[in-house]
Structure 1
Amino acid sequence: MYVLQVPGGRERATCDLLQKMLGDELVGECFVPLFESMRRVRGEWHREQRRLFPGYVFLTTPDIVRVVQRLRELPFFARVIGGHDERYVPLSAEEVAWLQALTNVETHTVEFSQGVIEGDEVKVVKGPLRGQEAKIRKIDRHKRLAFLEMHMFGRTKVVKVGLEIVSKR
């Protein structure tokens, strides 16, 4: 699995263009990971999906060199992350496992989690963050978000995902 950097907001268009230009034999799967969050609109909470990694597209392909050659034909900038000296490095097995553990495999979405605060510790009782409490660095209870620290793209990133704290003890 490889990661492409694209302009923010053009992630879905990039997947569609690559699928159209290269076909199914070169593009196994092209997706944009999402996360569910809650947003307050006119006093009511609504569930919405937002991009987990804005500006990045995930791609599986047997021939990354041909994909890179075709990226130059796109009407906007796109490049493969981790490419040095004509070598393109896929995501490590650990990064892929972390991504697959958190996201729904069919929809590539990190679903909304629920948790409680016991003393000064967060305990997730429902959702994909269950068992991942050690990676939570910060919680915004008002916006219902958790900030996770993870190693991705060769560096440490802070990623937000949906987490509602239902009680505090």
Structure 2
Amino acid sequence: MIDIWYLLYCPRQNERKILNSFKRNMSKAALKDAFIFTYDRMRKFQGKWHVEKQLMFPGYVFLESDNEKALAEEWQQHKGVENFLQEKKAILHVQKKEELFLTSLCKEARHLGMSKGVIRDGVTLITEGPLQGMEERICRIDRHKRLARLKPPEGSVSGSILAGLEIVEKN
């Protein structure tokens, strides 16, 4: 059977709790894996720049299953999720092209490291890091916060994606 990804809405700051609960309590027949995506970003405090790990999709947990029926039955009976299951669209199907994009971007670690780049004559060139070769996906760069906003594949359920990007030179 083919593995399918689902995006599960959960209350913010409860992502890891829900993730661990699903991993602990769901059967292998219903749930192949549960995970979250993270990314590195730079933050300045106490006069120095520090790398911090952030959630790429706050308020969401990804579920991977090859048995949609078993997953639906078990997640509706799962203790601890009753409060947010009343939400519309609590669980969404992730399109294959979005799954492939996230996998190519974050690899199996499901983590997006920092990238570095330069801007020459108004054109962004990524010189190192996971965003190399993905310059056409960058729709906005915040040089002050050292972040880039990436366009997801067409029809994506996850919206735009933040990634750490330090521009080291601009001319």
Please indicate the TM-score interval, normalised by the length of the shorter structure: 0.7 to 0.9
Match of 2:39 among 19, 35, 42: 35
1:145 matched residue in structure 2: 147
Between the two proteins, the alignment pairs up a number of residues equal to: 160
SS in 2 for 1:157: coil
1:101 matched residue in structure 2: 104
Offset at residue 48 of structure 1 (A): 0.9
Whole-angstrom CA distance in 2 between matches of 1:66 and 1:152: 29
Closer/same/farther in 2, CA of residues 26 and 155 from structure 1, 3 Å limit: closer
SS in 2 for 1:45: strand
- Corresponding letter in the other structure for 2:13: G
- Corresponding letter in the other structure for 1:93: K
Offset at residue 156 of structure 1 (A): 7.4
Counting only pairs closer than 5 Å after superposition, residues 16-95 of structure 1 correspond to structure 2 as 16-72=20-76, 73-75=78-80, 76-78=83-85, 79-81=90-92, 90-95=93-98
TM-score where L is the length of structure 2: 0.85
Question: Deviation string for 1:61-88 (max 9, x for gaps)?
Answer: 122333233333332414311xxxxxxx
Offset at residue 135 of structure 1 (A): 1.2
Offset at residue 59 of structure 1 (A): 1.3
Q: Gapped runs of 5+ residues in structure 1? A: 82-89
SS in 2 for 1:151: coil
Offset at residue 153 of structure 1 (A): 6.6
TM-score where L is the length of structure 1: 0.86
Offset at residue 140 of structure 1 (A): 0.7
1:113 touches 1:124 (CA, 8 Å); kept in 2? yes
Q: Check if 1:2 corresponds to 2:6.
A: yes
Q: Gapped runs of 5+ residues in structure 2? A: none
Identity of aligned residues (%): 30
Counting only pairs closer than 5 Å after superposition, residues 100-119 of structure 1 correspond to structure 2 as 100-105=103-108, 107-119=109-121
Offset at residue 154 of structure 1 (A): 4.2
Whole-angstrom CA distance in 1 between matches of 2:155 and 2:7: 8
2:29 touches 2:67 (CA, 8 Å); kept in 1? no
Closer/same/farther in 2, CA of residues 44 and 52 from structure 1, 3 Å limit: same
Offset at residue 129 of structure 1 (A): 0.8
Whole-angstrom CA distance in 1 between matches of 2:43 and 2:27: 37
Root-mean-square deviation over aligned CA pairs = 1.9
Closer/same/farther in 2, CA of residues 154 and 132 from structure 1, 3 Å limit: closer
2:124 matched residue in structure 1: 122
